[in-house]
Amino acid sequence: MTHFNTTEMDLNLIKVYDSTLLSSSKVYQINGRLSRYLGDEGSIKHPQYLFLPLPNQKKKTSFRLNRNKLMTRCYEVEGMVYEKPVVQDNSQQLQLF
């Protein structure tokens, strides 16, 4: 399980210089928020990079960064991976009783 409640001093941050290396399985720190990459949109000349804060972050809504903001504000958190939460579906079990 990924540890989200960590201080900035504990994190080894790698500045993102190349948008083609963004991955939905990596964790990024942007403006102090731990986030995951959802994808890109926009045009080739004006790309937008979409991120979603991880659970337990103050902000909950997705946000976009343009190329300049990505290059100045986005850091990969080395060694931290986003693992999709496992949801147990108990609704079928409840219906059987």
- 27: domain range? 10-85
Task: Say what the pTM is.
Answer: 0.76
Domain CATH code at residue 52 = 2.30.30
Is residue 17 one of the residues assigned to a domain? yes
One digit per residue, pLDDT tens: the chain, 97 residues?
Answer: 444 444 445 789 999 999 999 999 999 999 999 999 999 998 989 999 999 999 988 888 999 999 999 999 999 999 999 887 776 665 555 454 4
At 38 the pLDDT is: 97
Residue 22, in any domain of the structure? yes
Count: domains in the chain:
1
Q: pLDDT at position 2, please?
A: 45
Q: Which two tokens stand for residue 57?
A: 């972050």
In a domain, 34, yes or no: yes
- The pLDDT value recorded for residue 58 is 87
**Inside any domain, residue 1:** no
Q: Using DSSP, state whether 43 is helix, strand or coil.
A: coil
Question: Does any domain span residue 95?
Answer: no
Measured distance CA(94)–CA(97) in Å, rounded: 6
From first CA to last CA, the distance across the chain in angstroms is 32
